[in-house]
Structure 1
Amino acid sequence: MGLEQLDANKLIGPQQDVETIETWADRNGITYATARSWAMRGVLPTVRLGKRRMVNSAMLRQWLLEQKWTA
């Protein structure tokens, strides 16, 4: 599964700018293992807060807005 296969309806709505990988995965309907793999490979932008790695949803949204989409 790639980022392009995420359900866009789940990406729109209440979300935090920074959230745990587990929370992000659950909200977007993918497994924690997949989200963690994306985070470790740099597919998902993350930040470290203490001992936790958090998905930076604000950076992800900005990146998505900058993409040129084709139909």
Structure 2
Amino acid sequence: MIVQSTGDTRSVYGGAVALHRALPASRMVTLRNVRRHGLYGMYPNRCVTEAVNAYLASGVLPKTNLTCER
């Protein structure tokens, strides 16, 4: 699972997309229109938090990539 915001100022979104392409079994959780690095547990977004918590609890990736809104 790759968790990335589109406006991350430290690790650009394009790099996360490239990593996702290089790891075909991965899933991406994208938080749109947020300029923030470090999302899980640091930025209050229910969509991101629930997706990561579900993965950590079950070890099962989401069936598809997720796009969360601000």
Q: Is the structural similarity TM-score above 0.5?
A: no
Q: Pick the structure with more helix per residue.
A: 1
Q: TM-score, normalised by structure 1?
A: 0.31
Q: TM-score, normalised by structure 2?
A: 0.32
Choose between structure 1 and 2 for higher RCO, CA contacts under 8 A separated by at least 6 residues: 2
